[in-house]
């Protein structure tokens, strides 16, 4: 039996030598907005969230007819005396993460914030993935193995646990998969400070080096709040 194939763009993550100041696909650095938003604050601990990535919603895959850019944020987390994470950053509706949607206006606004991560530019390779539920143990291995576990635009989510495709937090309708973020950015670099300037450039902070983040958009595009971010790890 043939399985439907969907377009996917696999991302190669490259450390930028200078800040990226355009409204393009990138990870880390400072967000490049079209207009100044309120900086997201965690509803669980009150900390400012960290900026993770910005993703175009019109190219290379036209996900949205309403918005052009999505900006992904997540709380750095608060920890108890045992070192256990208290903010439920993995939950798309916990208030510990946020996705801001904006349109192009012809102008840009870059906040004067110190980023948790340096800028990474992205190069894309087009491919195909089978339209399968990767959490379904009945799926044949040869199909499952085609689905990339790397940062990508489109395709299907590679679930590390169960299928947790969310419902829209506003209208409770269906959502479409937009992107996947691999927590590992710098390959074999250790998860520790890596240079004399005490900048650590290693992993997006969900699940250490084995986490994957997922972005979903309301299929109806009901409001600007109809977009989510969540993550899983092994």
Take residue 212 and report the two structure tokens written for it: 């994957």
Residue 209: its pLDDT value, please?
65
* pLDDT tens-digit series, residues 128-169: 999 999 999 999 999 999 999 999 999 999 999 999 999 999
Strand spans (E) along 16-80: 26-27, 50-56, 69-74
The mean pLDDT value of the chain amounts to 89
At 203, the pLDDT band (50, 70, 90 cuts) reads low
* Per-residue pLDDT at 114: 72
Q: pLDDT at position 143, please?
A: 95
* For range 114-139, the mean pLDDT: 92
Which residues, other chains included, contact 192 with Cβ-Cβ below 8 Å and sequence gap of 6+?
A: 200, 202
For residue 206, pLDDT over 50 is answered with yes
**Smallest Cα–Cα separation from 73: which of 106, 96, 43, 44?**
96
CA-CA distances (angstroms) from residue 169 to 61, 154, 207, 234?
23, 21, 24, 26
* pLDDT of res. 186: 64
Range with the poorest average pLDDT among 77-91, 186-200, 218-232: 186-200
pLDDT of residue 117: 81
Which carries the bigger pLDDT value, residue 159 or residue 119?
159
Rounded Cα distance between 216 and 168, Å, is 9
**CA dist., res. 91 & res. 87, Å (int):** 9
Predicted pLDDT at 199: 43
The structure tokens listed for 179 are 């992107």
């Amino acid at each position: 039996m043939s399985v439907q194939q969907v377009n996917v763009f696999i991302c190669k993550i490259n450390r930028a030598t200078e800040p990226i100041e355009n409204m393009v696909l990138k990870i880390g650095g400072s967000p490049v907005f079209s207009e100044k938003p309120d900086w997201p604050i965690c509803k669980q601990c009150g900390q400012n969230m960290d900026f993770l990535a910005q993703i175009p919603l019109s190219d290379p895959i036209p996900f949205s007819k309403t918005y052009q850019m999505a900006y992904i944020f997540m709380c750095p987390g608060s920890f108890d005396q045992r070192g256990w994470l208290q903010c439920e950053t993995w939950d798309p509706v916990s208030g510990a993460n946020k996705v801001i949607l904006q349109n192009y206006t012809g102008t840009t606004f870059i906040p004067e914030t110190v980023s948790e991560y340096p800028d990474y530019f992205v190069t894309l390779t087009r491919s195909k993935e089978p339209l399968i539920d990767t959490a379904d143990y009945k799926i044949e291995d040869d199909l499952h193995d085609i689905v990339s576990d790397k940062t990508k635009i489109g395709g299907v989510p590679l679930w590390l646990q169960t299928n947790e495709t969310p419902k829209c937090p506003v209208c409770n309708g269906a959502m479409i998969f937009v992107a996947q973020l691999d927590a590992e950015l710098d390959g074999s670099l250790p998860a520790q400070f890596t240079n004399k300037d005490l900048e650590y450039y290693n992993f997006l902070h969900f699940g250490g080096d084995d986490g994957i983040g997922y972005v979903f958009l309301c299929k109806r595009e009901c409001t600007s709040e109809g977009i989510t971010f969540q993550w899983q790890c092994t």
